[in-house]
Structure 1
Amino acid sequence: MPKVRVRQHVNPLSNKYQTPVQPPKWENIYAQPDQPLHLDIGCARGEFLLSMATLQPNWNFLGLEIREPLVEQANAKVSELGLSNLHYLFCNVNNSLKPLLETFRVGTLQRVTIQFPDPWFKKRQVKRRVVQPELIDTLAAYLIDGGEVFLQSDVEAVAVQMCDRFEAHPAFQKQGAETWLATNPLPVPTEREVSTLSHGEPVYRALFIRC
Structure 2
Amino acid sequence: MLESEANPNFSKSTGLPRKRFYRARAHSNPLSDSHFPVPLSPSHVDYSLHFPQIFPSSELAEKSKKVEFADVGCGFGGLLISLSTLFPETLMIGMELRDKVTEYVKERILALRVTHPGQYQNVSVVRTNSMKYIPNYFEKGQLSKMFFLFPDPHFKEKNHRRRVISQHLLDEYAYVLRVGGIIYTITDVEELGDWMKARLEGHPMFEALTEEELEADPITKLLSSATEEGQKVARNGGQTFRAVYRRIVPAL
Fold conserved between structures, TM > 0.5: yes
Aligned to 1:2: 18
Check the 8 A contact 1:46/1:74 in 2, yes or no: yes
| Aligned residues: CA RMSD | 2.5
Change (3 A) 1:36 1:71: closer
Q: Which of 48, 60, 63 is matched with 2:79 structurally? A: 48
Aligned to 1:95: 132
Change (3 A) 1:91 1:135: same
TM-score, normalised by the number of residues in structure 1: 0.86
Deviation at 1:9, TM superposition (A): 2.4
Unaligned 5+ runs, structure 2? 1-16, 56-63, 114-119
CA separation in 2, counterparts of 1:74 and 1:12? 19
Cα-to-partner distance string for 1:99-151 (whole Å, 9 max, x where unaligned):
1112xxx6541011111000111122221111122321111112111111111
Equivalent residue of 2:178, what SS?
coil
Counterpart check, 1:193 vs 2:210: no
Highest CA radius of gyration, 1 or 2?
2
Deviation at 1:182, TM superposition (A): 8.7
Change (3 A) 1:166 1:202: same
Equivalent residue of 1:145, what SS?
strand
Q: Which runs of 4+ in 1 moved over 3 A?
A: 181-185
Check the 8 A contact 1:184/1:205 in 2, yes or no: no
Q: Which of 204, 207, 210 is matched with 1:176 structurally? A: 210
Unaligned 5+ runs, structure 1? none
Of all paired residues, the percent bearing the same amino acid is 30
CA separation in 2, counterparts of 1:37 and 1:99? 15
Equivalent residue of 1:52, what SS?
helix
Deviation at 1:45, TM superposition (A): 0.8
Change (3 A) 1:85 1:97: same
Deviation at 1:183, TM superposition (A): 10
CA separation in 2, counterparts of 1:80 and 1:91? 22
| Structure 2 letter corresponding to 1:59 | T
Deviation at 1:35, TM superposition (A): 5.8
CA separation in 2, counterparts of 1:200 and 1:38? 30
